[in-house]
Amino acid sequence: MPAPTPSASELLAQAQSLRERFPDWLTNRNPNAAQVGRENPLLPVLLKQLYPNFERPWSNDAYPVAVFPAPPSQVSQPDSVLGTLTQEQVKPDPQLAAAGQKYVELLQARSRYLHDSATYSLVEMKLGKTIKLDCALGRYFDAVRTCDALEWELLASLAANRLSGDPRDALKQLKLRSRVHALSESPMTRPVGRDSALAISTTVIFRGPDGYSVLAQRRAAESPSVHAGTWHVVPSGMFQPVADDMVKEFSVTHGFYREYLEELFHAPEAPRQPTGVAHDYFYDNPNLAYLQSLLSKGSATHLFTGMAISLMNFRAEICTLLFIDSPEWYQRHNIGAGGLSRLGLNEDEWQAGMSIQPLSWIHDGSPAPNDSVPPGAASLWLAVEMAHRMDLLKY
């Protein structure tokens, strides 16, 4: 028996329901929409008017990221940036979470590799003589719902030419961002109602055959990320307890070590459902042992350079510099000598490949503001500033 044909009023009601559940900016599946939004000249204008009092890389307002350079007393101690850890789950604002769920569904439709992993989430970034991050436990999908959805809302709205240059009018159109402003007077440093999952972005500068170079990567063009095809530093990744040891994994150095092995040397990740996996399961990796030997001898140094907060999604990233002054590091890893692995990258739908760039590649406009992940550009700028300030570049 054929299904009854809906009436005109029923069809209209169904259409209205779909519009309410999936606003245009959330169902925009055009993979170029984010790129179009990033290249809209209104983007830096709006962000400058909305957030005028924050330092930017190279003092260039075109970079949509705020930077907070590390105080001198913390530079040599990356873990000193960590404050308290409350082992309670962040409670996202129901209104933000409900609206942002549509963005999670959009990403899931475009990628089968998304996992709702545990994260460390920023509760408050305290600024003063030192920078301290008070944290709680979070979930990756909650960060997508309450942070990343803000970025997609902004870029998709710009791509569709829905915004004017008036910031008050823009906030009326950007419902999620307006809600975030209503929840907190300082949404970047005190993310009320949002799961502001932290990440670590490390710039690696090393001595190669032609002088100092830096590692960089392009996001894969087909990546579901809004920054598909753009430059980022390597290694970079979420700050998270992958072995479910919330206390022992709450370390910037530990998180950096794990990403260093995974992204540069194909080291396997911890199981998605860890059962009895020790937090230091990767510490016997010979590539890590070699790096630690260079660090202990002073031939390499790992420094805290500062914090970066994207003005588009309000998520904070801990920026560090791995400076390797021993030419042996590249010589050995370039060919995989002495039981070490060759440099490489775990290529997947998120990452297109790693490249080695001369240090001169990093300057105002390179990588371009619309061709770089915002915290990646910040990490590069902070690293070069730190290297010059500490007189590390001797050759």
Per-residue confidence in pLDDT tens, the chain, 395 aa: 333 444 445 433 433 433 343 345 444 555 578 889 999 999 999 999 999 999 999 999 999 999 999 999 999 999 999 999 999 999 999 999 999 999 999 888 887 778 899 999 999 999 999 999 999 999 999 999 999 999 999 999 999 999 988 999 999 999 999 999 999 999 999 999 999 999 999 999 999 999 999 999 998 777 777 888 899 999 999 999 999 899 999 999 999 999 999 999 989 888 766 567 899 999 999 999 999 999 999 999 999 999 999 999 999 999 999 999 999 999 999 999 999 999 985 555 445 578 999 999 999 999 999 999 999 999 999 999 999 999 999 87
The pLDDT score that the predictor gives to residue 346 is 53
| Residues 186, 197: Cα–Cα separation, whole Å | 16
The DSSP result for 192-251, as a single string, is TTS-EE-EEEEEEEEEETTEEEEEEEEEPTT-SSTTTT-EEESSEEE---TTS-TTTT--
What confidence score (pLDDT) does residue 225 get?
77
Q: How far is CA 382 from CA 4, 346, 366, in A?
A: 64, 26, 14
φ, ψ at 49 (rounded to 5°): -75, -35
Q: What is the pLDDT of residue 273?
A: 62
Contact 320, 200 (CB under 8 A): yes
Contact 346, 354 (CB under 8 A): no
Q: What superfamily does domain 199-389 belong to in CATH?
A: Nucleoside Triphosphate Pyrophosphohydrolase (3.90.79.10)
Where are the domains positioned within the chain?
Answer: 32-183, 199-389
